[in-house]
Each structure stands twice: as C-alpha cells, then as structure tokens.
Amino acid sequence: NNYRSPQNLLDLTYKFIRLNDPNRLEYQLAHGSTGSPLKTKLSKRLIAPHSEPAVIEHVAAKTDIEEARNVVEKIIELQEKKRLTWDDFAILVRANNSAEPFLAELERRGVPYQFIASRGLYAKPIVLDILLIIIMKARVYTAF
C-alpha cells in the first residue's frame, strides 16, 4: 500500500514503469525468463487506501533546463495561488544527476528545497569545503 499518493497517480506511474518490460524482475518471474523453473506472480503495483484523485499534468520541454524551469514555475504558481507550503511539493527523479537542473533552478528562484539522495553528498561544495578544513587541521596536528 501507498499512503501518500492517490490511485490515479500510482496507476500512471505503474503504467510508465511497465514500459521497461521484459527487463523488469516482476515480468521475468511471471513469464519464467529468469532461468528459474518456477513461475511466480510478483506484483509491484501499489494500491492507495483513499480514492481522491490527483491532478496529473504532463510538462513537455526540449531540454532538461527548460523542463526544470517549467516545473519550478508551476510549483511557484501553485504555491502562490493555493496558499500551499513548500512541504506540499516534491520533485522525483530517476537518478541523482537528473536532479541537477531542478536544484539549480530552485536555487536560482529562491525556492527552499531539501535534496535527499543516497549518494552525492560528498560532491556538494559546502561538504567539500568542510572536508578540506578537517584535512588541513588534521595535517597541522600530525606534522609535528
């Protein structure tokens, strides 16, 4: 179950994920193409406990920078019109490097954000600066 998203959003997401057939494990297990003699019905389709649908809008752009501008503009517009908080929004990306244009545009527009990723922390300039200071301090104490 997915408690945060409405069913129509989950269904659209699942339909999009299914474009990866036959490479998905779920598909391979159902069709016996994993090398295993067993066929199994594994389903990653999520179900929402509530039925209020979400408004889904497709945003098309020629470049990733244009896409980021369009998305951030829409977020700002909705935040102002509907008097929402910044916590009401999320931008989901498939890979960390896909987030870079969005992070740059959020920064440029002064929109507060929190980037949560499983890696990449050590590449952020502030973290690199702090690490450099720590390394320099450690060298001062070990040099004598």
Instruction: Write out the chain's pLDDT in tens, 144 residues.
Output: 777 788 998 999 888 877 776 676 776 777 766 555 556 666 778 888 877 888 888 888 999 999 999 999 999 999 999 999 998 898 988 788 899 999 999 999 999 998 877 566 667 778 878 888 888 887 766 655
CATH class of 58-119: alpha beta
* Domain extent listing, the chain: 1-56, 58-119
The pLDDT of residue 62 is 96
**Phi-psi label, residue 83: left if phi above 0, alpha if psi -120 to 50, beta otherwise:** left
Distances (CA, A) of 98 to 13, 93, 111, 121, 122: 18, 6, 18, 15, 17
The pLDDT of residue 17 is 78
Q: What is the pTM of this model?
A: 0.60
Q: Going by C-beta distance under 8 Å and a sequence separation of 6 or more, which residues neighbour residue 104?
A: 68
